[in-house]
Structure 1
Amino acid sequence: MSSADHQKLSKRLLFFFGLSEMPIQVAAVPVTAYILNFYVDDLGLSAGLAGTAYLLARIFDVITDPAIGYLSDRTNTRWGRRRPWMIAGMPVMLLGVYMLFFPSDDTVNDISIWYFLTWMAVLWLGWTMLLIPYYAWAAELSPDYNERTTITSWRTALGLAANIVSKLIPSIAVTFYAISGTPAIVEIIGIFLLIILPISVSLTVTQVPESDNFVPATMPLIEGMKIMLKNGPFKRLISAFFINYIGTAMSTATIIFFVRGVLHEESAGIVILLAFYITNLASIPFWLWLSKRIGKHRTWIIGLVSFSAIQPLYLLLGPGDIWWMTPIIAGTGFFGGTFYTMTNSMKADVIDLDTLKSGDNRAGMFFAMWSMATKIALAFGPGLALWTLGSFDYVSGTTDPDALLALRLVYALAVPIFFTAAAAIVWNYPITEERHLRLRQALERRNARRLARDATPAAKDATLAE
């Protein structure tokens, strides 16, 4: 079937497929924004040790990515090749969430870097077993350039909706029930995650069928990696993506430190995050509409540059300015809506180019490489931020002017530096809608020749049998 003749996916299928994005989104932000702050400011782990443990857990996580992607591409079961991995990842991730978000009293009284490191690594292992096959599956749902953006938009919207609910519940608790403090917020988010994870993944794997005509990848790993590294659009996309996420990770890792240390607000961070994700979610229809008119990479550039222009406004804020922070973060949330919808859709297009050159559909391996880049960025970004704060002797409750200035600068200026660099890299990205159409047509011609070739021996055998 040609991409032009492809039957559009139903809203029901898009909804059920997008549900598994919920635990992925809900887990990612609190671990970076709240868990780090919780273990440093509330449990007493030093900022330097926390940054080191976080980095080591992410290094372990990065090692597992290519293995899971490689194995997922080669899995062949009656249930498909992606769904079994998602089911297996559920209990692993649930265990990591429980141990990390709900440390026992003995652990709280004698916090150890090894406890933090171990359960962070377990959580990320389960997360990877869920994410890599799930994102690879998304790339296989449709061959159409614009429908792929629709798939990622649905997925992102549902993930952000869950993220908003996970922030809304503690926000209500803080505002109306006098429940405050990071430990209480971490516990509420943890409970929500333990509920939403098994429900959402179970619905996706039972309600969305996998293609039954897939062919497991056969190309040797080293040969496949050589072809991957010759893929120019892939190298440009992954480089910009990596730099984008370093800036994102530094901002996410320091936002609660900024709210508590600079604005002197103990519990308002959850409300601020809620404002970000509400505008983030609300922006998706606009970015989807715009991308169909100017292209995916140009839409992403607009988001990067506009976000960078707003972020330095945080330098103007001081104690008590929490409500002035709200419109700033709402603006960044709106422009940040391009980061997930555009990049994930662009990844699927790059995989088509690799399929044409290699002859294999290696979506799992490609998403493993992107996941590696993301995780290295998400490890390096918070690590760099916390090491910088540690070098200025930042500790919980500090009033040292140099430490607070370092916090301001890291939070407000890291994003513009990295996002501007990412925009420059992706400026002349070559895969437009027109070029992708030609790419899909070449793939379809090759697939037609392959089908005709495979059908010829069968026809001869049938003739002989007569």
Structure 2
Amino acid sequence: MGRKFLNSPTAYALGMFAMMVPSQAFASFFNYYYVEKLGLSLGLATIARTIYLIWDAVNNPMAGYLSDRTRTRYGRRRPWIFFSTPAFMLAFIMVFSVPKGLGNTELFVWLLTSLILFEGIATLLWVNYGALFPELFKGDRLRAKASAVQQGFQIVAILIGTALTPILYEWIGFGWMSVVYSLIFGVFMTWFALSVREKDSTHQEAPLPLIAAFRETLSNKPFWIFNIAGSFAQTVNGLLAALLPFYAKYVLNISEGEVSILMGAVFVSIIPLVAIWYLISRKLGGLRSWRLALAVYGLSVIPLWFAGSLGSGIVAGILVGFGMAGFLVTPAMLSSRIIDLDAERTGRRREGIYTAVAGFITRSSGLIAAVAFWIVGLIYGYQSGDDPGPQPETVFRVLICVVPLILLAMSFVISLFMKNLEEPGQSKRPV
């Protein structure tokens, strides 16, 4: 393995690609598989999802705490990644390989069990993967480059997980689809794990006790400002991805086949646009580029209100892609700097706990999206596809444009409370 590839941004991005292919397929299709294909009642599916979210709230911080306490000659994070990789493959296959003949109750038990296993193992992977970033990449310029490369790989994985999945499960079924994605994950995750090296972790300072570790994390003001602002912006990411098919149907009035063209235009455009945000991040630094990305993202959703055809929808979608690319690239620099400052203050590297708590805050943004959908639907009378109410076009214009604009405005205002966290030795620049 070449020395230049070892610990490079491309080597690190392999892990993002590996995890996002099955994770995107899971997020997009597991509910459809159980409710639409297998006939599980929506009520039981909702209960399983609620328990899943509670389990996620518990296991994320604990995974980070355990990771930070690990001391081996192979590092703190890599042993967890090697251990979790085959377990993740089996858990993902379990989600989409339900035995035939299960009744409603048995199907619920299978779903709940597979969700708990899948989420628990996925947490170990995501926490330890994310915790490697601040250690492997030092300085704003290198972190901006690594983040841009990482997000490019992520978008490719999202395209595979969304566009290829329906083709695969129609051709070979959900079970074999999960096997294919598990093998892709296994190959690229192992490649990633073999391509990174941590600093020696066997002689580091003793980790903080559990209560002290959480107290330090929860009392970190920049951490909370950064993640609360980010949670509103992350809600927009989820809303846009989930609402594009509805927007295409009710606002743009295009066929289902053209929906793929629209979604492809949005997500494919992000890949080259991350390079622009990399250059912006290098010039402005972490805080100013992050704040600018939130402002641009907010403005970029406005053209969605005025689109009315496939062509205008694609143009509006590409503009949104520019804003989204900024939000995907810029946070890594600032979050890594927050962790660096914590290490200077405590004398300990605690990437795991910070990555874990931030991950939970980010995932909880899905609740904001669900509440927004419910409130707007209630106001305009939208119930379902069978009963869309008198103004479905307005419903989805508001949800895909007005709600994101409000959320991103809130993110930007919150970001104004973040102080400059520039690295020592950098020239003082006004923020």
TM above 0.5, yes or no, is yes
Question: What are the Cα deviations for residues 336-382 of structure 1, in whole angstroms up to 9, with x where unaligned?
Answer: 1122221122111101111111111111111111111112113x144
User: Are 2:124 and 1:137 aligned?
Assistant: no
Specify the code of the residue in structure 2 equivalent to 1:413.
V
Counterpart contact for 2:297–2:324, Cα < 8 Å: yes
- For structure 2, list consecutive stretches of 5 or more residues without a partner in the other structure: 427-431
CA distance in 1: counterparts of 2:409 and 2:365, whole angstroms: 16
1:383 counterpart residue number: 370
CA distance in 2: counterparts of 1:36 and 1:257, whole angstroms: 17
Counterpart contact for 1:149–1:345, Cα < 8 Å: yes
Classify 1:334/1:104 alpha carbon distance in 2 versus 1 (closer, same or farther; 3 Å): farther
User: Are 2:300 and 1:335 aligned?
Assistant: no
Question: What are the Cα deviations for residues 43-63 of structure 1, in whole angstroms up to 9, with x where unaligned?
Answer: 666767655543432221121
2:92 counterpart residue number: 97
1:458 counterpart residue number: none
2:335 counterpart residue number: 347
1:72 counterpart residue number: 67
Please point out which of 269, 274, 281 is paired with 1:291: 281
CA distance in 2: counterparts of 1:266 and 1:204, whole angstroms: 37
CA distance in 2: counterparts of 1:47 and 1:250, whole angstroms: 21
- Aligned pairs for 1:2-401 within 5 A: 10-11=4-5, 13-14=7-8, 15-36=10-31, 53-101=48-96, 103=98, 106=101, 115-167=110-162, 169=164, 190=178, 193-213=181-201, 215=204, 217-260=206-249, 263=253, 265-316=255-306, 321-378=309-366, 380-385=367-372, 387-388=374-375, 392=381, 394-401=383-390
CA distance in 1: counterparts of 2:56 and 2:20, whole angstroms: 17
Specify the code of the residue in structure 2 equivalent to 1:78.
R
Question: What are the Cα deviations for residues 52-85 of structure 1, in whole angstroms up to 9, with x where unaligned?
Answer: 5434322211211111100111112232210121
Specify the code of the residue in structure 1 equivalent to 2:85.
M
CA distance in 2: counterparts of 1:192 and 1:365, whole angstroms: 32
Structure with higher Rg: it is 1
CA distance in 2: counterparts of 1:327 and 1:281, whole angstroms: 16
1:429 counterpart residue number: 418
Classify 1:199/1:429 alpha carbon distance in 2 versus 1 (closer, same or farther; 3 Å): same
User: What's the CA shift for 1:415?
Assistant: 1.3
Specify the code of the residue in structure 2 equivalent to 1:26.
V
Specify the code of the residue in structure 1 equivalent to 2:383.
Y
User: What's the CA shift for 1:41?
Assistant: 5.8
CA distance in 1: counterparts of 2:96 and 2:249, whole angstroms: 20
Q: Identity, % of aligned pairs? A: 21
CA distance in 1: counterparts of 2:103 and 2:387, whole angstroms: 22
CA distance in 2: counterparts of 1:360 and 1:291, whole angstroms: 27
Classify 1:190/1:422 alpha carbon distance in 2 versus 1 (closer, same or farther; 3 Å): farther
**2:362 partner SS:** helix
- For structure 1, list consecutive stretches of 5 or more residues without a partner in the other structure: 1-8, 174-178, 440-466
Specify the code of the residue in structure 2 equivalent to 1:410.
L
Classify 1:168/1:285 alpha carbon distance in 2 versus 1 (closer, same or farther; 3 Å): same
Equivalenced residue count is: 419
Question: What are the Cα deviations for residues 158-180 of structure 1, in whole angstroms up to 9, with x where unaligned?
Answer: 22233334456469x6xxxxx99
Counterpart contact for 1:164–1:274, Cα < 8 Å: yes
1:450 counterpart residue number: none
Question: What are the Cα deviations for residues 138-170 of structure 1, in whole angstroms up to 9, with x where unaligned?
Answer: 111133232122222222222223333445646
What CA RMSD, in Å, does the superposition of the two structures yield over aligned residues?
A: 3.5
TM-score (ref. length: structure 1): 0.78
CA distance in 2: counterparts of 1:345 and 1:195, whole angstroms: 32
Question: What are the Cα deviations for residues 193-213 of structure 1, in whole angstroms up to 9, with x where unaligned?
Answer: 323210111011122222124
User: What's the CA shift for 1:306?
Assistant: 2.5
Question: What are the Cα deviations for residues 82-119 of structure 1, in whole angstroms up to 9, with x where unaligned?
Answer: 01211222234323432444555546999955554443
**1:13 partner SS:** coil
Counterpart contact for 1:47–1:395, Cα < 8 Å: no
CA distance in 2: counterparts of 1:317 and 1:45, whole angstroms: 37
CA distance in 1: counterparts of 2:375 and 2:101, whole angstroms: 31
Classify 1:167/1:247 alpha carbon distance in 2 versus 1 (closer, same or farther; 3 Å): closer
User: What's the CA shift for 1:289?
Assistant: 0.7
TM-score (ref. length: structure 2): 0.83
1:448 counterpart residue number: none
CA distance in 1: counterparts of 2:372 and 2:40, whole angstroms: 16
**1:436 partner SS:** coil
